[in-house]
Amino acid sequence: MKTVLTGIKPTGDIHLGNLLGAIKPAIEMSRSGDFDRALYFVADAHALTSVRDPEIFKNYVYETTATWVALGLDTEKSIFFKQSDIKEVFELTWILNCMTPKGDLNRAHSYKDRVQKNQQEGRDLDHGVNMGLFDYPVLMSSDILLYDTNEVPVGKDQVQHIEIARSIAGRCNEYFGEGTLVEPQEVIQKNGSYVVGLDGRKMSKSYGNVIPLWGTEKKLRKTINKIATDSTPEEAPKDPDNCTIMELYRLFATADQINALEKRYREGIGWGYAKLELFEVVNEYLKEPRERFNSLMNNKDELDKILNHGAQRASEIAEATMKRVRSRITGF
Ligand code: ADP
Ligand code: TRP
């Protein structure tokens, strides 16, 4: 039995980084025939560490669900669900918490970054840190281990979390015997595991530099126009290997299109023109999914149905795993 699984946190506009680092590869893996099971979910419990408005929260959950379906996920062949619908994940989180050295979590990136920032700004080191943020990697380990997952497609920033999940599983297998939990492996894309944003840093909701998947064509055009460029004159030759526009273009264009635009760079190209070329390929990719997304967002009953159906199927797997884990760990 080979299982692929990944989750997306519903905390804001889904963007090109999420698409290329996680969603697109995950959908391709579900179609590849290499897996017996594909499970994908909305990591809504993880979003609670930061979202504080129920209206917004609910809308993000629906948007995340509609995104996967709009991009072509088959919710019959794959199991698509909402994390918090499967209560076993919280039971497993407690068990795994008891098997996790606190030091491992002190070293986890998002917590460490927060502490470092507080230090720099002269604040209390735990300012703005809730226990959910601290324990985030253990809940994520439960997400993965609960479904006996073998492979997890994610962007580079999530690798440490998968390593933590693998190490917790390994420790449980040592304590309670081989086969207690499956040790998972991350799957990183050659292209797309580190998509750059408008300012040339990693595209991320937390940096406010994203190109969102959804919205009107006009909005996409406007966002792409915001990509930071220098003031090199239009006619001056430009380096296609050192440019955010080109970096994004390569992720959507064909080999011929890429060659042609690289040539124009070397001859001299206006940034406005290069941005327009990028807009064209991204828009072409998103055109049909955008219509499906909009129509799904107008049909919440359909989205509820998809989530309920997925929850039923995911819960069968979760129950079986918990039976095994409880019995190995507690004897009951
Ligand atoms: P964000 O950093 O915008 O909050 P998430 O943490 O919700 O994004 O990420 C959801 C998925 O998308 C994860 O698998 C993550 O690794 C991937 N991802 C996020 N940003 C990028 C990026 N810039 N390039 C590639 N993958 C990314
Ligand atoms: N932490 C992931 C993110 O921020 C989301 C996530 C939660 C996830 N649980 C997961 C990803 C399990 C892969 C597997 O993007």
Closest ligand (CA of 192): 1
Q: CATH assignment of 214-293?
A: 1.10.240.10
Residues 6+ apart with CB under 8 A from 249: 257, 258, 261, 274, 277, 278, 281
CA–CA dist 301, 61 (Å, integer): 13
User: What does pLDDT average to over the chain?
Assistant: 97
Q: Kindly list the domain boundaries of the chain, sorted by start residue.
A: 3-194+300-330, 214-293
Mean local confidence (pLDDT), 212-238: 96
Q: Does the beta carbon of 143 sit less than 6 angstroms from any atom of ligand 2?
A: yes
How many CA atoms lie less than 13 Å away from 65 in the CB half-sphere?
30
Q: How does pLDDT run across 241-253, given as a tens digit for each residue?
A: 999 999 999 999 9
- Bridge partners of 187, per DSSP, are 153
Alpha-helix runs per DSSP H in the chain: 16-18, 24-31, 44-47, 54-70, 88-97, 102-106, 109-120, 131-145, 159-176, 217-225, 244-250, 255-267, 271-297, 300-330
Q: How far, in Å, is the centroid of ligand 1 from the Cα of 192?
A: 10
> What is the mean predicted confidence (pLDDT) over 176-197?
96
- For residue 231, give both structure tokens: 């003031």
> For 31-51, how does the pLDDT look when each residue is reduced to its tens digit (9 = 90+)?
999 999 999 999 999 999 999
pLDDT beyond 90 at 322? yes
Atom of ligand 1 nearest to the CA of 6: 14
Q: How confident is the model at residue 57 (pLDDT cuts 50, 70, 90)?
A: very high
3-state secondary structure of 202: strand
The verdict on the CB of residue 195 being under 6 Å from ligand 2 is no
Instruction: Specify the pLDDT at position 206.
Output: 86
Residue nearest to ligand 2 atom 13, measured at CA: 6
- State which fold the 3-194+300-330 domain adopts: Rossmann fold (3.40.50)
User: Which ligand neighbours the alpha carbon of 136 most closely?
Assistant: 2
Q: How far is the CA of 204 from the centre of ligand 1 (A)?
A: 6
Are both 3-194+300-330 and 214-293 of the same fold?
no
Smallest CA separation from ligand 2 atom 15, residue: 8
Buried b (16+ CB within 10 A) or exposed e, 14-24: bbbbbbbbbbb
